[in-house]
Amino acid sequence: MKRIILSLLIISFFAIQPAHAYWIWTPKSGKWVNPKNLPKDNPKEQFVYAKSFFENNKYEEAKREFRKLLKAYPKSAEAAESQYYLGLAEEQQGKLYEAFQAYQMVIDKYPFSERIQEIIEKEYKIAERFMSGEKRKALGIDLPVDNPAIEIFGKVVENSTYGPLASKAQYKLGLVLKGLMRYYEAEEEFNKVVSRYPDSEWSAAAKFQIASCRASLSKGFAYDQGSAQEAKEKFQEFVKEHPDAVLSLDAEKNISQIREKEAEASYNTALFYEKQKAFDSAKIYYNTIVNDYAQSPWAAQAAARLQLMEQKNEKKN
């Protein structure tokens, strides 16, 4: 009987053994753990192991191993580098927004990393790719509203307010917002270029864009004379300060377009007064068009209306 019991125990032992072949007991956690999920014995070994996957273009495996290191050895010297390589792996897979998030984590958690300037440059390039209309490949992450370039250019400026890319990123942030027709926000960002980086190569261009935003605001459903006047003044100021700039030609074209709109608005006002038989007021507006907008097609029409009004007046008398 004892032999039978002993035999059963031995059989039971060998029957149970395979179930635990891939699991080990860890006193620290008090749990059974699959060795496959454990990091190497030290962060250096784990980093080398994770990097070997990256170098062989096995990016999912590399990300898994770098994350193990970050979880097990968050304060190690290799942690910052692992976070950086997570960004590289995401970028290699075409997951641009995830790459930005991984890079930004280095700046946020490891601000003394030697990679900071390199990371800022990478973030800037990612923002430019989004600005040009490039889409992300991966699904499952809610992206910032409208265009991720808004957030990323903003972070580039925040990460290095007076760094080599700051003024350029600030300017392009304004361009993205302007492209989305968010003119007030765009103007605010362009104003930051002028106020923070007055000596940068982007300052003059920002002044032009401020005037352009004002002009765009004047082209709404109802002609906004106030915004148009402000735009014209800003364009005139730009031409005066930068007469030789390439953008000055565009500024002068914008000034001509705004003047054309002003003449049209004055003509419509004059026509309204004429229909209301307020002839004196109508004459004032028609004469203003003839005298101040002589090169405009509206000047000829205004002159014709003045002549017609004079003829009607003579008939009455």
Residue 130 burial (CB count, 10 A): 23
Q: Tell whether pTM > 0.75.
A: no
Q: Where are the domains of the chain?
A: 128-210
CB-based burial of residue 174 (10 Å sphere; 0-12 exposed, 13-18 middle, 19+ buried)? buried
Architecture of domain 128-210: Alpha Horseshoe (1.25)
One-letter amino acid of 120: I
In angstroms, the CA 252 to CA 246 distance is: 11
Identify whether the C-beta of residue 235 lies closer than 8 Å to the C-beta of residue 227: no
Distance, CA of 38 to CA of 28 (rounded, Å): 13
**From residue 283, how far is each of 13, 173, 225, 310 by CA, in Å?**
111, 47, 20, 10
- pLDDT 10s digit of each residue in the chain, 317 long? 555 554 544 445 444 444 444 555 555 555 555 566 688 899 999 999 999 999 999 999 999 999 999 999 999 999 999 999 999 999 999 999 999 999 999 999 999 999 999 999 999 999 999 998 866 544 445 565 568 999 999 999 999 988 999 999 999 999 999 999 999 999 999 999 999 999 999 999 999 999 999 888 877 545 567 777 887 788 788 778 777 776 777 877 877 878 887 888 888 888 888 788 878 887 888 888 888 888 888 888 888 888 888 877 777 76
Three-class SS state of 115: coil
